Structure 1
Amino acid sequence: MKYLKLNLFATLLVTGITAFAQEVKLAPTPPMGWMSWNLMEVNVNETGVKEIADAMVNSGMVKAGFNYIFIDDGWQGGRDNKNNIIPDAKKFPSGIKALADYVHSKGIKLGIYSDAAPLTCGQYTASLNFEEQDARTFAKWGIDYLKYDYCNAPEDVATAKQRYGKMASALRKSGRDIVFGICEWGPREPWNWGSEVGGQSWRTTYDIRDKWMDTEGKGGVGIYNVVDKMAGLAKFSGPGRWNDGDMLVVGLHGLKGPSSAFNGKGCSQAEYRSQMSLYCILNSPLYASCDIRKMDEDAKTIFTNTEVIALNQDALGKQAERKIKTDVWDVFVRPLANGDFAIAVLNKSGITQATKINFADLGLPDKYEIKDLWQHKVTGKANKWTGDITSHETKVFRLKKV
């Protein structure tokens, strides 16, 4: 009996460990890719998605780690006579399965969109009460990620948890590993419950616009509004559970469409680079949204900076903490898996500012080799950094103890 009990305990222990491993293996690092919404809105289509996939490969983005395409709202064509959700035949004449096969052949995964209500934000067919059937369909098509929106749904937290939990359960039972992105926009504070109900990421704010910041309180979240929100959510982030800052607006340059709402007139190059820098150090999923088929060299340089991306994809998965916040400066620090540290220094003011950052003030008392990850070079070995930072620019350094 003693041995039987020990064997039973060992079996239960192994089973528990295996179940835990299955739960955390999805999105061990933040997903990276391209999302269709800002460029294509509800006009997303098969030809455009294939062209984007080709451009992601040719531009070096896939090699840099951008290995998802996320199809947003507008792909749906209703349901068939067996209530299976189907794509719009004009937009996707070959079907989603064929498109997934094409995208997979390029080394890219495919994400799709639905909503926890009868209709989506764009008033297309959604998944409420069809969760298991739709999850099986998505798995059959070869889908790797589901963005699950919350338009046309009740405002209370309990219903959101129930609806998101139901879809998460359906995805787990679908027979395919499908990453689950909760797109509730933040009012019900999904960072408190998103992982509990089965999500791998959760949006922290309403939709981002192509601007630095909403300063008038008239609506429309800007880059810094998102960063400021996410800065207080570090304890909720880690492997398989990510605070999601919404799309990268890098390279949009005031493009007419969703990103131009609420005075989204475009950002400076320093601001676009800051979004990438700060999203990387804060572990947000990274999904580009500009037309990468014809993006400029500045955008390409941002999307293919593998040294900055390495911070976002670091195996330790620990989101940076904001150590300094003044009217002018935000300074973030995060540990990395190999023992290095990364710091990001943002000048929030409207003019170039000189600063001296003493590493000891950030809890880093040693001397470090300092590598500037945008200049791609070591700038010295010291216990501090001194220099000028332009308006809305973010300096990113990797510190190696010497």
Structure 2
Amino acid sequence: MKLKLVFALLLIAGTISAQVKLAPTPPMGWMSWNIMSVNPNEKDIKEMADAMVASGMVEAGYQYIFLDDCWQGGRDNKNNIIADPLKFPSGIKSLADYLHGKGMKMGIYSDAASLTCAGYTASFNFEDQDAKTFASWGIDYLKYDYCNAPEDVATAKLRYGNMAKALRQSGRDIVLGICEWGPREAWNWGAEIGGQSWRTTFDIRDKWNDTDGKGGVGIYNVIDKNAGLAEFSGPGRWNDGDMLNVGLKGVKGPSGAFDANGCTDAEYQSQMSMWCMLNSPLYASNDIRTMTETTKRILLNKEIIALNQDALAKQAERKVKNETWDIFVRPLANGDYAIAILNKASSTQNAKIAFSDLGLTAKYEIRDLWQHKVMGKANQWAGKVASHETKVFRLKKV
């Protein structure tokens, strides 16, 4: 009995170690879906990679390009999954080599059923074969969707577990992103079966909040959901808030579903702030080739990104939630704290925050991470917060 217990503990320890190795901090990159939708292609992906390097995104930590649905061309006469030869004439391995040559990584998409969400070839009953194919191409990440699959939790755990095992045995380190959208609460079991992240909501749309009953998940809907999942987050296990809307500005396509017409720059900045505070993977989805300076400023804020990538990896906890304010606190690896003050109201509000009310009893140097300057030394902060703006401060004990 004791030997069995020791073996089980060693197995769990080994699984945790592998989780951390694959994704010690939340993955960062760019996702093809919102801009390319059903027509991802080699030319545009390479252009996007070039733009990510030129813009400073890769240097800032956005390593991945995630190739979403609709890249598939079926299976060959040996049942190997293949890319659409018109969209990817040089093949996926060539594209992965191109990204790796730029110091980047490549993610790809499949589904735990026979067909993907868009009706393309998926991986159910071909897990081992597809995992080995992905490994031979040099894939670094798999987004694994759940369209056309049974709704129950047990089947989801089985199908995701089978793919996780196949990836581990593929001969290459490949991160597994579980994309079952939340109904089966993958945060309860995702790490156990071998996943490194799990979507917590249905697909995000380019809107602030679903308050009009038209449907679709908005930025604040995700914040509110992930705020309650801090205990499930840590090295190698991340609550995935879905794509960053930053810079979409109401572009036509998937992000515009459910009458989503875009967000203000304050709302986009809040999304970036809160995705970083809440340890979500960061994958931009705007057209990097035509970014505005405002979009660059939001996506490339290294002080905000540093929260997301902090070595302590402890997700922020919501300390205040009322009709007007959400206030979050996050401890950091060097002993500092980050606080985020989100104004949910439709107009500018005056805030006065005593840090002691948040459990922070010392006096602190207060650094505004969006203004990039120290605001003073105190045990409180007072100021104006615009509608749907999030103030983010780094507090250093003095």
Please give the range of the TM-score, normalised by the shorter of the 2 chains.
Answer: over 0.9
Q: Tell me which of 87, 93, 110 is aligned to 1:114.
A: 110
Q: Distance in 1 between matches of 2:314 and 2:117?
A: 33
How far 1:103 moved relative to its partner? 0.5
Contact 2:273/2:390 (<8 A) preserved: yes
Q: Which residue of 1 aligns with 2:347?
A: 351
Q: 1:372 to 1:187 in 2, by over 3 A?
A: same
Q: Distance in 1 between matches of 2:383 and 2:217?
A: 30
Confirm or deny that 1:315 pairs with 2:348: no
Q: Distance in 2 between matches of 1:240 and 1:161?
A: 18
Q: Distance in 2 between matches of 1:16 and 1:308?
A: 33
Q: Which residue of 1 aligns with 2:226?
A: 230
Q: Tell me which of 158, 163, 174 is aligned to 1:167.
A: 163
How far 1:13 moved relative to its partner? 9.7
Q: Distance in 2 between matches of 1:25 and 1:267?
A: 36
Q: Which residue of 1 aligns with 2:3?
A: none
User: Does the residue aligned with 1:196 lie in a helix, a strand or coil?
Assistant: helix
Q: 1:188 to 1:20 in 2, by over 3 A?
A: closer
Contact 2:214/2:259 (<8 A) preserved: no
Q: Deviations over 1:236-285 (max 9, x none)?
A: 00000000000000000000000001111000000000000000000000
Q: Which residue of 1 aligns with 2:147?
A: 151
Task: Report the number of matched residues.
Answer: 394
Q: Deviations over 1:36-83 (max 9, x none)?
A: 000000100001110000000000111111010000000000000000
Q: Distance in 1 between matches of 2:360 and 2:76?
A: 60
Confirm or deny that 1:127 pairs with 2:157: no
Q: 1:23 to 1:84 in 2, by over 3 A?
A: same
Flag structure 2 segments of 5+ consecutive residues without an equivalent.
1-5
Confirm or deny that 1:193 pairs with 2:161: no
Q: 1:395 to 1:171 in 2, by over 3 A?
A: same
Q: Which residue of 1 aligns with 2:97?
A: 101
User: Does the residue aligned with 2:136 lie in a helix, a strand or coil?
Assistant: helix
Single out whichever of 23-32 and 269-278 deviates more from structure 2.
Answer: 23-32
How far 1:299 moved relative to its partner? 0.6
How far 1:217 moved relative to its partner? 2.6
Q: Which residue of 1 aligns with 2:86?
A: 90
TM-score, reference length from structure 2: 0.97
Contact 2:19/2:196 (<8 A) preserved: no
Q: Distance in 2 between matches of 1:47 and 1:232?
A: 41
Q: Deviations over 1:109-148 (max 9, x none)?
A: 0000000000000000000000000000000000000000
Whichever residue aligns with residue 150 of structure 2, its letter is P
Q: Which residue of 2 aligns with 1:4?
A: none
Q: Deviations over 1:182-222 (max 9, x none)?
A: 00000111111111111000000000000100002331000
Q: Tell me which of 236, 244, 252 is aligned to 1:240.
A: 236
Q: Distance in 2 between matches of 1:266 and 1:26?
A: 34
Q: How does 1:52-63 map to 2 (within 5 A)?
A: 52-63=48-59
Q: Which residue of 2 aligns with 1:299?
A: 295
Q: Which residue of 1 aligns with 2:173?
A: 177
How far 1:16 moved relative to its partner? 8.1
Q: 1:86 to 1:248 in 2, by over 3 A?
A: same
Whichever residue aligns with residue 400 of structure 1, its letter is K
Q: Which residue of 2 aligns with 1:7?
A: none
Q: Percent identity between the aligned chains? A: 74
Q: Which residue of 2 aligns with 1:6?
A: none
Q: Distance in 2 between matches of 1:318 and 1:162?
A: 29
Q: Which residue of 1 aligns with 2:74?
A: 78
User: Does the residue aligned with 1:243 lie in a helix, a strand or coil?
Assistant: strand
Flag as ranges the 4+ runs of structure 1 deviating above 3 A: 10-20
Backbone CA RMSD of aligned residues: 1.6
Q: 1:133 to 1:278 in 2, by over 3 A?
A: same
Flag structure 1 segments of 5+ consecutive residues without an equivalent.
1-9
Q: Deviations over 1:157-205 (max 9, x none)?
A: 0000000000000000000000000000001111111111110000000
Q: Distance in 2 between matches of 1:215 and 1:15?
A: 46
Q: Which residue of 2 aligns with 1:28?
A: 24
Confirm or deny that 1:271 pairs with 2:267: yes
Q: Distance in 2 between matches of 1:41 and 1:173?
A: 31
User: Does the residue aligned with 2:154 lie in a helix, a strand or coil?
Assistant: helix
Q: Which residue of 1 aligns with 2:321?
A: 325
Q: Which residue of 2 aligns with 1:3?
A: none
Q: Distance in 2 between matches of 1:300 and 1:164?
A: 36
User: Does the residue aligned with 1:25 lie in a helix, a strand or coil?
Assistant: helix
